[in-house]
Amino acid sequence: MSVLTIVQAINKALTEEMGKDDSIVLLGEDIGVNGGVFRATEGLYQSFGPNRVIDTPLAESGIIGVAMGMSLYGLKPVAEIQFLDFIYPAFDLIVNELAKFRYRTGGQYPTHIVIRAPCGGGIKGGMYHSQSSESYFIHTAGLKVVMPSNPYDAKGLLVASIRDADPVIFLEPKRLYRSVKGEVPEGSYTVPIGNASVVAKGEDVSVFTYGAMVHVALEAAKKADEKGISVEVIDLRTLSPLDFEAIVDSVRKTGRAVVVHEAPRTLGFGAEISALISEKAFLHLEAPVTRVTGYDTPFHYSLEEVYLPSVGKVLNAIEKTAGF
- What is the Cα–Cα distance from 83 to 154, expressed in whole angstroms? 17
Query: What is the per-residue pLDDT across 281-302, written as a single tens digit (0 to 9) for each?
Result: 999 999 999 999 999 999 999 9
Share of the chain above pLDDT 90, in %: 98
Torsion of CA 69, 71, 77, 83, to 10 degrees: 60
Residue 198 burial (10 A CB sphere; 0-12, 13-18, 19+): middle
Residue 139 annotated in active site: no
CB-based contacts of 299, cutoff 8 Å, min separation 6 = 121, 126, 127, 130, 131, 307
Does residue 146 have a pLDDT over 90? yes
Query: What is the per-residue pLDDT across 89-127, written as a single tens digit (0 to 9) for each?
Result: 999 999 999 999 999 999 888 899 999 999 999 999 999
- What is the Cα–Cα distance from 261 to 242, expressed in whole angstroms? 15
How confident is the model at residue 25, as a pLDDT?
98
Task: Choose the catalytic residue: 112, 129, 215, 261.
Answer: 129
Coil, helix or strand at residue 63: helix
- What is the Cα–Cα distance from 243 to 258, expressed in whole angstroms? 16
Does residue 1 have a pLDDT over 90? no
How many CB atoms sit inside 10 A of residue 86's CB?
Answer: 18
How confident is the model at residue 110, as a pLDDT?
86
Share of the chain above pLDDT 70, in %: 100
Overall average pLDDT of the 185-198 stretch = 96
Query: What is the per-residue pLDDT across 8-31, written as a single tens digit (0 to 9) for each?
Result: 999 999 999 999 999 999 999 999
Overall average pLDDT of the 43-59 stretch = 97
The percent helix, strand, coil of the chain (3-state, each to 5) is 40, 20, 40
How confident is the model at residue 177, as a pLDDT?
98
How confident is the model at residue 109, as a pLDDT?
87
DSSP element (H, E) containing 205: strand 205-209
259 forms bridges with which residues in the sheet? Answer: 208, 291
**Contact at 8 Å (CB) between 11 and 42?**
yes
Walk me through the domains of the chain, giving residue ranges and CATH numbers. Answer: 2-184 (3.40.50.970), 197-322 (3.40.50.920)
Does residue 152 have a pLDDT over 90? yes
The pTM (predicted TM-score) of the whole model is 0.97
